[in-house]
Amino acid sequence: MSAVTAQVAPARRPNYKRRRVWREVAALAVAVVLIIWTLAPLYNMVEVSLSSHNDVFSSNIWPADPSAASYWIVLTEGYWYLEYFWHQYANSIYIGFWTVFLTLGIGSMVSYSIGRMRIRHGWLLTNAALMTYLVPASFLAIPFYRIMQSYGLGNNVWSIIAVEVTFATPYAIFIFQQYGRSIPFELDEAARIDGASPIQVYFRIYLPLMAPALVAVGTYALLLAWNEYLYQFLLLSNKRSMTVPVALAQFLNSDESPWNYMMATAVVYAIPPVIIYYLFRGKMTAGLTMGGVKG
């Protein structure tokens, strides 16, 4: 393109150059605003977590005497609100693990049946999944709460796993079906001619070829479970069955909130998903259109 410009209007070149400099300056200004906007709440989180109790209730914007004492308190469960911190953290991990495992298992099985085996009326299931994806999870919380009691799953982490799987599988089905179209049918057929049973095709051909989609959906399911609060709050009330977000929110409702401990807890809770997100970022963009972690 530059050659064209040079031929047509060589006299205007300096003007272009000045304009380009001006544009760079404008872009930098946008960048500075964006950085402040993005980092302010995260900065606040870290700042408060490094403060002493007196520093929290002061007008400083950086603690006078930053220390990691709050983190030590959190990690050693040294405050009465945090007495089951590691137990609760383990609950969050347990829920996250089973959510990912079951979402991938159930989602890939039904997608295989609909997309590869072409079961009759499979579109009904696809539509059911799509509809579930579009129903806001929080709108089902009230009947869900009642039903979980009648299923005998009150105060049980499996009730949460059931919820997360319910709301993560529709996304999984959608992505698997979209992605599955890129895998040639000839592979399945060749394996079938060689005498492979459907379940062998599923394990030996379908799942390995779906690996990128499995990673994307697995990350999505994990972040969904890690982000979710409402159901965990409603269904888990026992301190030992509770998860970290529920414990964190309990802090908020107490009168004398130890904000530095809260923020240290928040940072410790936020680190694993951020790492996982950055590790699998490239894979996740594959299925981004439908994504969005539902609130």
* Least separation in angstroms between CB 227 and other proteins: 5
* Least separation in angstroms between CB 228 and other proteins: 9
Say how many C-beta atoms besides its own lie within 10 A of residue 110's C-beta. Answer: 20
Is residue 9 helix, strand or coil?
A: coil
* Least separation in angstroms between CB 156 and other proteins: 14
Nearer to other proteins, 163 or 210 (CB): 163
Residues 6+ apart with CB under 8 A from 257: 251
* Least separation in angstroms between CB 76 and other proteins: 20
CA 48 to CA 61: how far, in whole Å? 9
Nearer to other proteins, 23 or 240 (CB): 23
Checking phi first, is residue 254 left (phi over 0); if not, alpha (psi -120 to 50) or beta? beta
Say how many C-beta atoms besides its own lie within 10 A of residue 267's C-beta. Answer: 18
Specify the residue for token string 């380009």: 20
* Least separation in angstroms between CB 85 and other proteins: 14
Query: Structure tokens of 260?
Result: 């530095």
CA 267 to CA 224: how far, in whole Å? 18
